[in-house]
């Protein structure tokens, strides 16, 4: 069903100077995510910088049928073959011992949306060497999915879906104690990377 977008590849380019987005964790690097996209479905790869929403908006200008397909997709819950055990750390916004970076809560609807897009776009994500290197892969309505590499070498995942599953779990398992319709959490993969779901007001 998503075969039309499997030609889409994603990779990271050298960090862009003057990047407006701040790292989710103080002192962490921000990796500018560049997605190599077969925008026209004819093999010509176009580089798009930013989040999966930036990719969709670019696609919408040039190949709206493809976007329609991704938006209409219903990620198959049983199609979790690449999902790995991830340790989820829920963060109570009001507990300074847990919320050491002063994060705010995200909207599950927008996190789920982002996860669906990540499952739909295909391609393989790469994150530069850490520890502490993060790329913002999804952001809409002030709700962000960050992907951080804590390895001292670059990592490449089989697909963006893996990050989508991480974000979905970190959000669904971590409702905020004060506003349960919001979520705040982090998921840690055994391969030394993690995902963060939280509020983000920076160009989002
Ligand atoms: C896209 O980025 C890659 C990696 O930086 C580069 O090799 C390629 O030439 C770029 N393609 C275009 C069309 O700019
Ligand atoms: C693919 O389509 C775009 C837009 O029509 C065009 O600019 C590009 O040259 C095409 N590439 C190939 C390989 O035909
Ligand atoms: C979900 O995936 C499973 C296994 O790949 C398949 O048997 C099932 O038909 C799929 N369900 C839908 C709704 O696509």
User: Of 43-47, 138-142, 161-165, 187-191, which has the strongest mean pLDDT?
Assistant: 138-142
Burial-class residue 156 by CB neighbours within 10 Å (0-12, 13-18, 19+): exposed
Q: What is the Å distance from ligand 1's center to 45 Cα?
A: 8
List the single range of 76-90, 125-139, 146-160 with lowest mean pLDDT: 76-90
Give, in order, the Cα–Cα distances in Å from 188 to each of 85, 126, 195.
9, 17, 7
Q: What is the Å distance from ligand 2's center to 40 Cα?
A: 7
Give yes or no for residue 81 CB within 6 A of ligand 3.
no
pLDDT at 85: 67
pLDDT at 2: 31
Residue with tokens 């809560």: 105
pLDDT at 20: 57
Ligand found nearest the CA of 38: 2
State how far the Cα of 55 lies from the Cα of 133, in Å rounded to an integer.
Answer: 21
pLDDT at 16: 37
pLDDT at 194: 96
Residue with tokens 């990047």: 19
Among 41, 44, 63, name the best residue to mutate to test ligand 2's pocket (greatest count of ligand atoms within 8 A of Cβ).
44
Among 9, 43, 45, 58, name the best residue to mutate to test ligand 1's pocket (greatest count of ligand atoms within 8 A of Cβ).
45
| Cβ(129)–Cβ(152) below 8 Å | yes
Q: What is the Å distance from ligand 1's center to 185 Cα?
A: 34
Which is more confidently placed, 134 or 45? Answer: 134
Chain mean pLDDT for the chain:
84
Mean pLDDT (whole number) for 98-115: 96
Give yes or no for residue 76 CB within 6 A of ligand 2.
no
Closest-lying ligand 3 atom to the alpha carbon of residue 77: 1
- What single string gives the DSSP state of each residue in the chain? --GGGTT-EEEEPSPPTT--PPPSSTT-EE--EEEEEETTSSS-EEEEES-HHHHHHHHHHH-HHHHHHHHH----TT--TT---EEEEE--TT-TTT-TT----B-HHHHHHHHHHHHHH-S--EE-S-SSEEEEEEEETTEEEEEEE-SSS-EE-S-THHHHHHHHHHHHT-B-SS-TTSB-EEEEETTSEEEEEEE--S--
- Say yes or no to pLDDT of 83 above 70: no
- Label residue 76 by pLDDT band (50, 70, 90): low
Which is nearest to 197 in space by CA: 78, 77, 24? 24
- Label residue 187 by pLDDT band (50, 70, 90): very high
Take atom 13 of ligand 2 and give the residue whose Cα is closest: 44
Q: What is the Å distance from ligand 2's center to 45 Cα?
A: 9
Take atom 4 of ligand 2 and give the residue whose Cα is closest: 40
């Amino acid at each position: 069903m998503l075969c039309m977008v499997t030609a889409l590849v994603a990779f990271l380019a050298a960090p862009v100077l003057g990047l407006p987005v701040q790292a989710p964790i103080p002192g962490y690097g921000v990796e500018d995510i560049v997605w190599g996209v077969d925008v026209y479905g004819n093999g010509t790869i176009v580089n798009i910088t930013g989040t999966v929403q930036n990719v969709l908006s670019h696609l919408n200008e040039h190949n709206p049928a493809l976007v329609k397909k991704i938006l209409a997709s219903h990620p198959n819950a049983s199609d979790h073959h690449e999902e790995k055990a991830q340790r989820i750390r829920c963060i109570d916004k009001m507990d300074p011992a847990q919320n050491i970076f002063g994060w705010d809560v995200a909207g599950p609807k927008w996190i789920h949306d982002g996860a669906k897009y990540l499952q739909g776009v295909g391609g393989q994500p790469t994150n530069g060497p850490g520890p502490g290197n993060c790329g913002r892969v999804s952001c809409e309505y002030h709700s962000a999915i960050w992907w951080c590499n804590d390895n001292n070498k670059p990592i490449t995942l089989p697909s963006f879906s893996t990050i989508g599953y991480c974000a979905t779990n970190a959000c669904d398992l971590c409702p905020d104690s004060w506003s349960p319709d919001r979520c705040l959490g982090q998921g840690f993969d055994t391969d030394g990377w993690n995902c963060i779901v939280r509020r983000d007001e920076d160009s989002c």
